[in-house]
A and B are shown apart, each in its own frame.
Chain A
Amino acid sequence: MSNDVYVVGTDMIKFGRFPERTVPELGAQAALMALDDCGLTIQDMQALYSGNLFEASGGVGQRILREIGQTGIPVVNTANACATGATAFREGWMAIKAGVYDIVLCVGCEQMGTGLLGGAGGGKGIPTEGLLGSGTMPSVFAHVGLEHTRKYGTTFEQFAKVSVKNHHHSTLNAKAMYQKETPLEEVMGAEMISYPNTKLMCSVNVDGSAAAVLCSEKKARELGLMGRAVKVRASALASDPYTSRNIAMMDFNAVTRLAAKTAYDMAGLGPDDVDLIELHDCFATAEIVHYENLGLCKDGEAGRLIDSGATQLGGRIPVNVSGGLLSKGHPLGATGIANIYEVTTHLRGEAGNRQVDGARIGLTHVVGAGSACAVHILEKV
Protein backbone atom coordinates (compact mmCIF):
# COMPACT_ATOMS: atom_id res chain seq x y z
CA MET A 1 0.00 0.00 0.00
CA SER A 2 1.37 3.42 -0.95
CA ASN A 3 1.49 6.38 1.41
CA ASP A 4 -0.41 8.49 -1.12
CA VAL A 5 -3.08 10.89 0.14
CA TYR A 6 -6.48 11.26 -1.50
CA VAL A 7 -9.25 13.84 -1.56
CA VAL A 8 -12.35 11.73 -0.88
CA GLY A 9 -14.89 14.46 -0.16
CA THR A 10 -15.03 18.15 -1.04
CA ASP A 11 -17.47 20.97 -1.55
CA MET A 12 -17.86 24.75 -1.30
CA ILE A 13 -20.77 27.05 -0.61
CA LYS A 14 -21.91 29.49 -3.27
CA PHE A 15 -19.74 32.55 -2.67
CA GLY A 16 -21.62 35.75 -1.82
CA ARG A 17 -22.17 38.36 0.89
CA PHE A 18 -23.53 36.99 4.16
CA PRO A 19 -23.03 39.75 6.75
CA GLU A 20 -25.72 38.25 9.01
CA ARG A 21 -23.79 34.99 9.41
CA THR A 22 -20.64 34.23 11.43
CA VAL A 23 -17.32 32.94 10.11
CA PRO A 24 -17.66 29.56 11.91
CA GLU A 25 -21.19 29.16 10.52
CA LEU A 26 -19.83 29.57 7.01
CA GLY A 27 -17.01 27.10 7.69
CA ALA A 28 -19.40 24.60 9.27
CA GLN A 29 -21.67 24.66 6.23
CA ALA A 30 -18.85 23.73 3.84
CA ALA A 31 -17.51 21.15 6.33
CA LEU A 32 -20.86 19.35 6.46
CA MET A 33 -21.17 19.51 2.65
CA ALA A 34 -17.72 17.92 2.22
CA LEU A 35 -18.57 15.20 4.77
CA ASP A 36 -21.85 14.53 2.95
CA ASP A 37 -19.93 14.34 -0.34
CA CYS A 38 -18.20 11.19 0.96
CA GLY A 39 -20.96 9.96 3.26
CA LEU A 40 -18.97 10.42 6.48
CA THR A 41 -19.54 12.31 9.73
CA ILE A 42 -17.40 14.42 12.05
CA GLN A 43 -17.06 11.27 14.25
CA ASP A 44 -14.99 9.74 11.42
CA MET A 45 -12.47 12.62 11.39
CA GLN A 46 -9.20 12.39 13.34
CA ALA A 47 -8.18 16.07 13.10
CA LEU A 48 -9.37 19.42 11.76
CA TYR A 49 -7.17 21.88 9.84
CA SER A 50 -8.85 25.27 9.64
CA GLY A 51 -7.81 28.20 7.46
CA ASN A 52 -8.99 31.74 8.20
CA LEU A 53 -7.09 35.02 8.00
CA PHE A 54 -9.10 37.88 9.44
CA GLU A 55 -10.07 36.08 12.69
CA ALA A 56 -6.72 34.32 12.94
CA SER A 57 -6.55 34.68 16.72
CA GLY A 58 -10.17 33.66 17.23
CA GLY A 59 -10.02 29.86 17.30
CA VAL A 60 -12.13 29.49 14.17
CA GLY A 61 -11.50 25.72 13.88
CA GLN A 62 -12.73 25.07 17.42
CA ARG A 63 -15.79 27.27 16.79
CA ILE A 64 -16.55 25.26 13.62
CA LEU A 65 -16.57 22.09 15.74
CA ARG A 66 -19.09 23.71 18.10
CA GLU A 67 -21.36 23.98 15.05
CA ILE A 68 -20.83 20.43 13.71
CA GLY A 69 -19.84 18.27 16.70
CA GLN A 70 -17.27 18.68 19.48
CA THR A 71 -15.51 15.34 19.23
CA GLY A 72 -12.33 16.51 20.95
CA ILE A 73 -10.09 16.01 17.90
CA PRO A 74 -6.95 18.13 17.50
CA VAL A 75 -7.54 21.46 15.74
CA VAL A 76 -4.86 23.42 13.90
CA ASN A 77 -5.71 27.00 12.90
CA THR A 78 -3.68 28.40 10.02
CA ALA A 79 -3.19 31.94 8.71
CA ASN A 80 -0.89 32.44 5.71
CA ALA A 81 -2.11 35.40 3.64
CA CYS A 82 -3.94 34.34 0.48
CA ALA A 83 -2.40 30.87 0.82
CA THR A 84 -4.27 30.32 4.11
CA GLY A 85 -6.74 27.69 2.88
CA ALA A 86 -4.13 25.87 0.81
CA THR A 87 -1.84 25.84 3.85
CA ALA A 88 -4.57 24.23 5.99
CA PHE A 89 -5.06 21.62 3.25
CA ARG A 90 -1.32 21.02 3.07
CA GLU A 91 -1.02 20.61 6.85
CA GLY A 92 -3.69 17.91 6.67
CA TRP A 93 -1.93 16.25 3.74
CA MET A 94 1.35 16.28 5.64
CA ALA A 95 -0.12 14.70 8.78
CA ILE A 96 -1.49 11.78 6.76
CA LYS A 97 1.70 11.52 4.75
CA ALA A 98 3.60 11.29 8.04
CA GLY A 99 1.33 8.48 9.19
CA VAL A 100 -0.04 10.41 12.17
CA TYR A 101 -3.67 10.26 10.97
CA ASP A 102 -5.63 8.31 8.36
CA ILE A 103 -8.40 10.79 7.71
CA VAL A 104 -8.74 14.53 8.38
CA LEU A 105 -11.01 17.44 7.58
CA CYS A 106 -9.66 20.69 6.07
CA VAL A 107 -11.85 23.81 6.03
CA GLY A 108 -11.22 27.32 4.73
CA CYS A 109 -13.59 30.21 5.42
CA GLU A 110 -13.59 34.00 5.32
CA GLN A 111 -15.88 36.99 5.70
CA MET A 112 -14.52 39.92 3.75
CA GLY A 113 -16.63 43.07 3.80
CA THR A 114 -16.04 45.35 0.82
CA GLY A 115 -13.48 47.89 -0.35
CA LEU A 116 -9.75 48.21 -0.97
CA LEU A 117 -7.36 45.82 0.73
CA GLY A 118 -3.82 46.74 1.68
CA GLY A 119 -2.43 50.25 1.90
CA ALA A 120 0.87 51.44 3.26
CA GLY A 121 1.44 52.71 6.78
CA GLY A 122 -1.13 52.97 9.52
CA GLY A 123 1.42 52.26 12.26
CA LYS A 124 3.50 54.97 13.87
CA GLY A 125 3.70 58.50 12.56
CA ILE A 126 1.51 59.56 9.65
CA PRO A 127 -0.14 57.30 7.03
CA THR A 128 2.15 56.82 4.04
CA GLU A 129 -0.49 55.62 1.55
CA GLY A 130 -0.48 58.12 -1.31
CA LEU A 131 2.62 59.79 0.13
CA LEU A 132 5.19 57.04 -0.55
CA GLY A 133 3.40 55.46 -3.49
CA SER A 134 0.58 52.99 -2.99
CA GLY A 135 0.35 49.73 -1.11
CA THR A 136 -3.25 48.89 -1.98
CA MET A 137 -3.61 45.47 -3.58
CA PRO A 138 -4.80 46.88 -6.94
CA SER A 139 -1.66 49.05 -7.01
CA VAL A 140 0.67 46.25 -5.92
CA PHE A 141 -0.67 44.07 -8.75
CA ALA A 142 -0.61 46.98 -11.18
CA HIS A 143 3.14 47.09 -10.53
CA VAL A 144 3.23 43.32 -11.18
CA GLY A 145 1.53 43.83 -14.54
CA LEU A 146 3.51 46.86 -15.68
CA GLU A 147 6.76 45.07 -14.91
CA HIS A 148 5.62 42.53 -17.54
CA THR A 149 4.79 45.42 -19.88
CA ARG A 150 8.25 46.86 -19.29
CA LYS A 151 9.91 43.55 -20.15
CA TYR A 152 7.70 42.29 -22.96
CA GLY A 153 5.35 45.06 -24.09
CA THR A 154 2.21 43.39 -22.71
CA THR A 155 -0.80 45.65 -23.35
CA PHE A 156 -3.73 46.92 -21.27
CA GLU A 157 -5.99 45.02 -23.69
CA GLN A 158 -4.16 41.73 -23.09
CA PHE A 159 -4.53 42.10 -19.33
CA ALA A 160 -8.21 42.98 -19.78
CA LYS A 161 -8.83 39.82 -21.83
CA VAL A 162 -8.17 37.78 -18.69
CA SER A 163 -11.24 39.34 -17.08
CA VAL A 164 -13.36 38.78 -20.17
CA LYS A 165 -12.39 35.08 -20.13
CA ASN A 166 -12.87 34.45 -16.42
CA HIS A 167 -16.17 36.31 -16.22
CA HIS A 168 -17.32 34.21 -19.18
CA HIS A 169 -16.29 31.01 -17.39
CA SER A 170 -18.26 32.01 -14.31
CA THR A 171 -21.50 32.08 -16.32
CA LEU A 172 -21.14 28.27 -16.23
CA ASN A 173 -20.60 28.09 -12.45
CA ALA A 174 -23.64 28.45 -10.20
CA LYS A 175 -21.35 28.69 -7.14
CA ALA A 176 -19.57 31.81 -8.45
CA MET A 177 -20.47 35.20 -6.97
CA TYR A 178 -21.30 36.53 -10.44
CA GLN A 179 -22.57 34.87 -13.63
CA LYS A 180 -22.26 37.79 -16.01
CA GLU A 181 -20.48 38.28 -19.32
CA THR A 182 -18.18 41.32 -19.41
CA PRO A 183 -17.18 42.24 -22.99
CA LEU A 184 -13.70 43.69 -23.55
CA GLU A 185 -14.92 47.27 -23.98
CA GLU A 186 -16.82 47.02 -20.68
CA VAL A 187 -13.74 45.70 -18.85
CA MET A 188 -11.46 48.36 -20.33
CA GLY A 189 -14.05 51.11 -19.86
CA ALA A 190 -14.79 50.31 -16.21
CA GLU A 191 -13.57 52.66 -13.48
CA MET A 192 -9.77 52.75 -13.46
CA ILE A 193 -8.50 51.75 -10.00
CA SER A 194 -4.71 51.49 -10.50
CA TYR A 195 -3.55 51.42 -14.13
CA PRO A 196 -3.92 48.99 -15.84
CA ASN A 197 -6.35 47.34 -13.37
CA THR A 198 -9.92 48.59 -13.82
CA LYS A 199 -12.64 47.68 -11.35
CA LEU A 200 -13.60 44.63 -13.45
CA MET A 201 -9.96 43.47 -13.36
CA CYS A 202 -9.97 43.28 -9.54
CA SER A 203 -11.15 40.13 -7.73
CA VAL A 204 -14.40 40.33 -5.83
CA ASN A 205 -14.36 40.54 -2.04
CA VAL A 206 -16.92 37.93 -0.99
CA ASP A 207 -17.74 35.70 1.95
CA GLY A 208 -17.26 32.00 1.40
CA SER A 209 -16.10 28.63 2.59
CA ALA A 210 -14.83 25.37 1.16
CA ALA A 211 -13.80 22.06 2.68
CA ALA A 212 -12.07 18.80 1.82
CA VAL A 213 -11.77 15.39 3.49
CA LEU A 214 -8.28 13.92 3.05
CA CYS A 215 -7.60 10.23 3.51
CA SER A 216 -4.81 7.67 3.34
CA GLU A 217 -5.05 5.02 0.61
CA LYS A 218 -5.53 2.29 3.22
CA LYS A 219 -8.41 4.09 4.88
CA ALA A 220 -10.02 5.08 1.55
CA ARG A 221 -10.03 1.42 0.50
CA GLU A 222 -11.45 0.33 3.87
CA LEU A 223 -14.25 2.87 3.54
CA GLY A 224 -14.92 2.01 -0.09
CA LEU A 225 -14.19 5.58 -1.16
CA MET A 226 -11.66 5.03 -3.97
CA GLY A 227 -14.31 5.37 -6.70
CA ARG A 228 -14.45 9.17 -6.59
CA ALA A 229 -11.08 9.69 -4.88
CA VAL A 230 -8.54 12.09 -6.36
CA LYS A 231 -4.85 11.62 -5.60
CA VAL A 232 -2.70 14.47 -4.28
CA ARG A 233 0.36 14.08 -6.50
CA ALA A 234 2.21 17.08 -5.06
CA SER A 235 1.91 19.70 -2.34
CA ALA A 236 4.39 22.57 -2.26
CA LEU A 237 4.66 25.71 -0.16
CA ALA A 238 7.23 28.50 -0.52
CA SER A 239 8.06 31.87 1.00
CA ASP A 240 9.59 34.57 -1.14
CA PRO A 241 13.26 34.02 -1.85
CA TYR A 242 15.39 37.19 -1.80
CA THR A 243 15.14 39.36 -4.87
CA SER A 244 16.62 42.84 -4.93
CA ARG A 245 13.41 44.86 -5.43
CA ASN A 246 11.21 42.74 -3.17
CA ILE A 247 11.09 45.22 -0.28
CA ALA A 248 9.82 48.09 -2.45
CA MET A 249 7.84 46.03 -4.95
CA MET A 250 6.37 42.72 -3.81
CA ASP A 251 7.64 39.86 -5.93
CA PHE A 252 5.04 37.18 -6.62
CA ASN A 253 7.07 35.63 -9.45
CA ALA A 254 10.09 34.11 -7.71
CA VAL A 255 7.93 32.59 -4.96
CA THR A 256 5.52 31.06 -7.48
CA ARG A 257 8.36 29.65 -9.59
CA LEU A 258 9.90 28.10 -6.50
CA ALA A 259 6.66 26.44 -5.37
CA ALA A 260 5.81 25.31 -8.93
CA LYS A 261 9.22 23.71 -9.46
CA THR A 262 8.95 21.91 -6.12
CA ALA A 263 5.47 20.61 -7.02
CA TYR A 264 6.38 19.50 -10.56
CA ASP A 265 9.47 17.73 -9.21
CA MET A 266 7.48 16.00 -6.48
CA ALA A 267 4.84 14.83 -8.97
CA GLY A 268 7.40 13.87 -11.59
CA LEU A 269 5.33 15.90 -14.04
CA GLY A 270 5.72 19.04 -16.10
CA PRO A 271 3.39 21.81 -17.28
CA ASP A 272 2.60 19.88 -20.49
CA ASP A 273 1.05 17.07 -18.42
CA VAL A 274 -1.53 19.37 -16.81
CA ASP A 275 -5.10 19.46 -18.17
CA LEU A 276 -6.52 22.37 -16.18
CA ILE A 277 -5.34 25.03 -13.77
CA GLU A 278 -6.95 27.15 -11.08
CA LEU A 279 -4.42 29.94 -10.49
CA HIS A 280 -4.38 33.07 -8.35
CA ASP A 281 -6.06 35.71 -10.53
CA CYS A 282 -6.55 38.19 -7.69
CA PHE A 283 -6.10 40.80 -10.42
CA ALA A 284 -6.14 40.36 -14.19
CA THR A 285 -2.46 41.37 -14.34
CA ALA A 286 -1.56 38.48 -12.02
CA GLU A 287 -2.96 35.76 -14.27
CA ILE A 288 -0.70 36.88 -17.13
CA VAL A 289 2.53 36.63 -15.12
CA HIS A 290 1.52 33.29 -13.60
CA TYR A 291 1.17 31.73 -17.08
CA GLU A 292 4.94 32.04 -17.27
CA ASN A 293 5.61 31.35 -13.59
CA LEU A 294 3.77 28.03 -13.85
CA GLY A 295 5.44 27.16 -17.15
CA LEU A 296 2.37 27.28 -19.44
CA CYS A 297 4.45 29.24 -21.96
CA LYS A 298 7.95 30.62 -22.28
CA ASP A 299 8.89 33.89 -20.61
CA GLY A 300 7.56 36.78 -22.65
CA GLU A 301 4.79 34.78 -24.35
CA ALA A 302 1.97 35.21 -21.84
CA GLY A 303 0.35 38.07 -23.75
CA ARG A 304 0.20 35.94 -26.88
CA LEU A 305 -1.11 32.99 -24.82
CA ILE A 306 -4.20 34.95 -23.69
CA ASP A 307 -4.65 36.28 -27.26
CA SER A 308 -4.56 32.71 -28.65
CA GLY A 309 -7.48 31.51 -26.55
CA ALA A 310 -5.43 28.58 -25.25
CA THR A 311 -6.45 29.28 -21.64
CA GLN A 312 -10.20 29.37 -22.32
CA LEU A 313 -12.46 26.42 -21.69
CA GLY A 314 -11.94 24.24 -24.79
CA GLY A 315 -8.39 25.55 -25.31
CA ARG A 316 -5.05 23.79 -24.89
CA ILE A 317 -4.77 24.50 -21.16
CA PRO A 318 -7.95 25.94 -19.62
CA VAL A 319 -7.23 28.34 -16.73
CA ASN A 320 -9.76 29.35 -14.09
CA VAL A 321 -12.80 27.66 -15.60
CA SER A 322 -14.53 28.27 -12.23
CA GLY A 323 -14.56 31.99 -13.03
CA GLY A 324 -11.46 32.52 -10.92
CA LEU A 325 -11.05 34.97 -8.10
CA LEU A 326 -12.10 37.68 -10.55
CA SER A 327 -15.69 36.44 -10.83
CA LYS A 328 -16.17 33.45 -8.52
CA GLY A 329 -14.83 35.70 -5.76
CA HIS A 330 -11.92 35.67 -3.33
CA PRO A 331 -12.71 34.91 0.33
CA LEU A 332 -9.03 34.76 1.32
CA GLY A 333 -9.00 31.79 3.70
CA ALA A 334 -11.43 29.75 1.56
CA THR A 335 -9.85 30.32 -1.84
CA GLY A 336 -7.13 27.65 -1.63
CA ILE A 337 -9.60 24.87 -0.81
CA ALA A 338 -12.20 26.18 -3.28
CA ASN A 339 -9.53 25.68 -5.97
CA ILE A 340 -9.06 22.08 -4.78
CA TYR A 341 -12.84 21.59 -5.00
CA GLU A 342 -12.93 22.92 -8.56
CA VAL A 343 -10.07 20.77 -9.86
CA THR A 344 -11.35 17.67 -8.02
CA THR A 345 -14.79 18.16 -9.57
CA HIS A 346 -13.28 18.17 -13.07
CA LEU A 347 -11.07 15.14 -12.37
CA ARG A 348 -14.20 13.30 -11.20
CA GLY A 349 -15.94 14.30 -14.44
CA GLU A 350 -18.67 16.04 -12.44
CA ALA A 351 -18.24 19.67 -13.57
CA GLY A 352 -21.32 19.74 -15.80
CA ASN A 353 -21.35 22.31 -18.59
CA ARG A 354 -17.91 23.69 -17.70
CA GLN A 355 -16.26 20.23 -17.61
CA VAL A 356 -12.74 20.12 -19.06
CA ASP A 357 -13.06 17.02 -21.23
CA GLY A 358 -10.84 14.12 -20.32
CA ALA A 359 -9.11 15.95 -17.45
CA ARG A 360 -6.65 13.65 -15.63
CA ILE A 361 -4.20 16.08 -14.02
CA GLY A 362 -5.05 19.44 -12.48
CA LEU A 363 -3.01 22.13 -10.72
CA THR A 364 -4.02 24.69 -8.10
CA HIS A 365 -2.03 27.81 -7.23
CA VAL A 366 -2.47 30.52 -4.64
CA VAL A 367 -0.03 33.27 -3.71
CA GLY A 368 -0.43 35.81 -0.95
CA ALA A 369 1.31 39.05 -0.13
CA GLY A 370 4.19 38.70 2.21
CA SER A 371 4.74 36.25 0.42
CA ALA A 372 3.31 32.74 0.60
CA CYS A 373 2.70 30.48 -2.38
CA ALA A 374 1.10 27.03 -2.44
CA VAL A 375 0.88 24.74 -5.46
CA HIS A 376 -0.99 21.42 -5.47
CA ILE A 377 -1.15 18.86 -8.28
CA LEU A 378 -4.10 16.46 -8.28
CA GLU A 379 -4.64 13.32 -10.35
CA LYS A 380 -7.69 11.32 -11.36
CA VAL A 381 -7.32 7.81 -9.95
Chain B
Amino acid sequence: MSAAGVATKPAPTTKGVVPFLKIPKDGEPYLAGSKCSSCGEVVAGTRTVCGKCGARKGIEPVKLGTTGKLYNFTVVHRNFPGVPVPFISAIVDVDGGGTLKGNLLGVEPDPNKIKFDMPVKIVIRPVPQKDKDGNSYLAYFFEPKS
Protein backbone atom coordinates (compact mmCIF):
# COMPACT_ATOMS: atom_id res chain seq x y z
CA MET B 1 0.00 0.00 0.00
CA SER B 2 1.21 3.51 -0.70
CA ALA B 3 1.21 6.21 1.95
CA ALA B 4 -2.14 7.44 0.63
CA GLY B 5 -3.70 4.00 1.18
CA VAL B 6 -4.07 3.24 -2.51
CA ALA B 7 -2.95 -0.20 -3.73
CA THR B 8 -0.08 0.08 -6.17
CA LYS B 9 0.03 -2.37 -9.01
CA PRO B 10 3.37 -3.83 -9.92
CA ALA B 11 4.75 -2.39 -13.16
CA PRO B 12 3.90 -4.56 -16.20
CA THR B 13 6.56 -7.08 -17.03
CA THR B 14 7.24 -9.92 -19.48
CA LYS B 15 6.21 -13.44 -18.46
CA GLY B 16 6.28 -16.94 -19.87
CA VAL B 17 2.97 -18.12 -21.33
CA VAL B 18 3.34 -21.33 -19.29
CA PRO B 19 5.12 -21.65 -15.93
CA PHE B 20 7.89 -23.77 -17.46
CA LEU B 21 8.87 -21.05 -19.96
CA LYS B 22 11.56 -19.40 -17.86
CA ILE B 23 12.94 -15.91 -18.41
CA PRO B 24 16.25 -15.53 -16.53
CA LYS B 25 17.34 -12.03 -15.53
CA ASP B 26 20.51 -12.53 -17.51
CA GLY B 27 20.50 -15.08 -20.30
CA GLU B 28 18.16 -16.44 -22.92
CA PRO B 29 14.59 -17.63 -22.19
CA TYR B 30 14.26 -21.42 -22.14
CA LEU B 31 11.81 -24.26 -21.51
CA ALA B 32 12.36 -25.97 -18.18
CA GLY B 33 12.03 -29.69 -17.67
CA SER B 34 12.67 -32.27 -14.99
CA LYS B 35 14.77 -35.41 -15.24
CA CYS B 36 14.34 -38.35 -12.89
CA SER B 37 17.68 -39.76 -11.84
CA SER B 38 16.01 -43.08 -10.90
CA CYS B 39 14.31 -43.96 -14.20
CA GLY B 40 15.78 -41.35 -16.53
CA GLU B 41 12.42 -39.94 -17.68
CA VAL B 42 12.46 -36.31 -18.87
CA VAL B 43 9.25 -34.25 -18.80
CA ALA B 44 8.36 -30.62 -19.47
CA GLY B 45 7.74 -28.59 -16.34
CA THR B 46 8.99 -28.60 -12.78
CA ARG B 47 8.25 -31.76 -10.81
CA THR B 48 9.04 -32.89 -7.31
CA VAL B 49 7.84 -36.49 -7.82
CA CYS B 50 8.41 -38.61 -10.94
CA GLY B 51 5.09 -39.43 -12.65
CA LYS B 52 6.60 -42.50 -14.25
CA CYS B 53 8.29 -44.29 -11.33
CA GLY B 54 7.09 -42.35 -8.29
CA ALA B 55 10.60 -41.38 -7.11
CA ARG B 56 10.54 -38.48 -4.64
CA LYS B 57 14.26 -37.82 -4.65
CA GLY B 58 16.72 -37.05 -7.37
CA ILE B 59 14.42 -35.08 -9.70
CA GLU B 60 16.86 -32.74 -11.46
CA PRO B 61 15.87 -29.48 -13.14
CA VAL B 62 17.02 -29.49 -16.78
CA LYS B 63 16.69 -27.21 -19.81
CA LEU B 64 14.65 -28.90 -22.54
CA GLY B 65 16.23 -29.17 -25.98
CA THR B 66 15.65 -26.56 -28.68
CA THR B 67 15.04 -29.02 -31.52
CA GLY B 68 12.75 -32.00 -31.98
CA LYS B 69 10.67 -34.11 -34.34
CA LEU B 70 7.01 -33.78 -35.29
CA TYR B 71 5.25 -36.76 -33.72
CA ASN B 72 1.67 -35.78 -34.53
CA PHE B 73 -0.55 -32.88 -35.61
CA THR B 74 -4.00 -31.70 -36.59
CA VAL B 75 -5.10 -28.77 -38.71
CA VAL B 76 -7.64 -26.78 -36.70
CA HIS B 77 -10.33 -25.09 -38.79
CA ARG B 78 -12.95 -24.29 -36.16
CA ASN B 79 -12.14 -22.78 -32.81
CA PHE B 80 -13.49 -20.31 -30.28
CA PRO B 81 -14.37 -16.78 -31.42
CA GLY B 82 -11.25 -14.63 -31.74
CA VAL B 83 -8.81 -17.49 -32.28
CA PRO B 84 -7.38 -17.17 -35.82
CA VAL B 85 -7.82 -20.32 -37.95
CA PRO B 86 -6.59 -22.41 -39.63
CA PHE B 87 -3.56 -23.33 -37.56
CA ILE B 88 -1.53 -26.48 -36.98
CA SER B 89 -1.69 -27.99 -33.49
CA ALA B 90 1.49 -30.06 -33.28
CA ILE B 91 2.91 -32.65 -30.90
CA VAL B 92 6.71 -32.55 -30.86
CA ASP B 93 9.10 -35.02 -29.25
CA VAL B 94 11.91 -32.81 -27.98
CA ASP B 95 15.46 -34.01 -28.68
CA GLY B 96 16.84 -35.11 -25.32
CA GLY B 97 13.42 -35.90 -23.85
CA GLY B 98 9.98 -34.44 -23.16
CA THR B 99 6.99 -33.88 -25.44
CA LEU B 100 5.31 -30.54 -26.15
CA LYS B 101 2.10 -29.39 -27.78
CA GLY B 102 2.24 -26.13 -29.68
CA ASN B 103 1.60 -24.32 -32.94
CA LEU B 104 3.65 -25.36 -35.98
CA LEU B 105 4.48 -22.27 -38.06
CA GLY B 106 6.06 -21.90 -41.49
CA VAL B 107 4.20 -24.87 -43.00
CA GLU B 108 1.01 -24.65 -45.04
CA PRO B 109 -1.93 -25.85 -42.92
CA ASP B 110 -2.65 -28.70 -45.33
CA PRO B 111 -2.44 -32.28 -44.02
CA ASN B 112 -0.76 -33.37 -47.26
CA LYS B 113 2.08 -30.89 -46.75
CA ILE B 114 2.84 -31.88 -43.15
CA LYS B 115 5.23 -34.79 -42.64
CA PHE B 116 5.38 -36.99 -39.57
CA ASP B 117 8.88 -36.95 -38.04
CA MET B 118 9.87 -33.71 -39.79
CA PRO B 119 12.67 -32.02 -37.80
CA VAL B 120 11.64 -28.78 -36.09
CA LYS B 121 13.22 -25.94 -34.16
CA ILE B 122 11.60 -24.81 -30.92
CA VAL B 123 11.63 -21.01 -30.93
CA ILE B 124 10.64 -18.60 -28.16
CA ARG B 125 9.29 -15.21 -29.11
CA PRO B 126 6.97 -12.42 -27.92
CA VAL B 127 3.25 -12.61 -28.70
CA PRO B 128 0.96 -9.59 -29.20
CA GLN B 129 -1.56 -10.61 -26.50
CA LYS B 130 -1.36 -8.91 -23.08
CA ASP B 131 -3.18 -9.84 -19.89
CA LYS B 132 -5.56 -7.51 -18.03
CA ASP B 133 -2.68 -6.08 -15.97
CA GLY B 134 -0.77 -5.13 -19.11
CA ASN B 135 1.87 -7.86 -18.79
CA SER B 136 3.53 -9.06 -22.01
CA TYR B 137 4.21 -12.71 -22.80
CA LEU B 138 6.71 -14.97 -24.49
CA ALA B 139 5.46 -18.21 -26.05
CA TYR B 140 7.14 -21.13 -27.76
CA PHE B 141 6.49 -22.23 -31.35
CA PHE B 142 7.73 -24.91 -33.73
CA GLU B 143 9.25 -24.14 -37.11
CA PRO B 144 10.68 -26.45 -39.79
CA LYS B 145 14.38 -27.01 -39.25
CA SER B 146 16.12 -26.52 -42.54
Of all chain A residues, the one with the shortest Cβ separation from B142 is A133
Interface residues of A in 167-215 (CB under 8 A from B): 191-196, 199
Q: B84, B102, B129, B137: which contacts A133 (Cβ < 8 A)? A: B102
Among the stretches B3-11, B37-45, B55-63, the one at the interface with A is B37-45
Q: Mark A38-58, 1 if CB is under 8 A from B, else 0.
A: 000000000000000000000
> What separation, in Å, do the CA atoms of A253 and B123 have in the docked complex?
31
With an 8 A cutoff between CB atoms, is B51 at the interface? yes
How many residues of B sit at the interface, in one of the four size bands? 35 or more
With an 8 A cutoff between CB atoms, is B120 at the interface? no
Q: B44, B72, B79: which contacts A146 (Cβ < 8 A)? A: B72
With an 8 A cutoff between CB atoms, is B107 at the interface? no
B111 and A129 contact, CB distance less than 8 A: no
Interface residues of A in 16-54 (CB under 8 A from B): none
**Residues from chain B with Cβ under 8 Å of A130 in the complex:** 76, 79-80, 83-85, 87, 103
B111 and A195 contact, CB distance less than 8 A: yes
How many residues of A sit at the interface, in one of the four size bands? 20 to 34
A194 and B99 contact, CB distance less than 8 A: no
Interface residues of A in 113-166 (CB under 8 A from B): 116, 119, 125-136, 138-139, 142-143, 146-147, 150
A133 and B90 contact, CB distance less than 8 A: yes
A116 and B78 contact, CB distance less than 8 A: yes
Of all chain B residues, the one with the shortest Cβ separation from A115 is B80
With an 8 A cutoff between CB atoms, is A1 at the interface? no
With an 8 A cutoff between CB atoms, is B15 at the interface? yes
A242 and B76 contact, CB distance less than 8 A: no
B51 and A242 contact, CB distance less than 8 A: yes
With an 8 A cutoff between CB atoms, is B101 at the interface? yes
Interface residues of A in 207-250 (CB under 8 A from B): 242, 244-245, 247-249
> What separation, in Å, do the CA atoms of A135 and B129 have in the docked complex?
19
Which A residues form the contact surface with B (CB < 8 A)? 116, 119, 125-136, 138-139, 142-143, 146-147, 150, 191-196, 199, 242, 244-245, 247-249
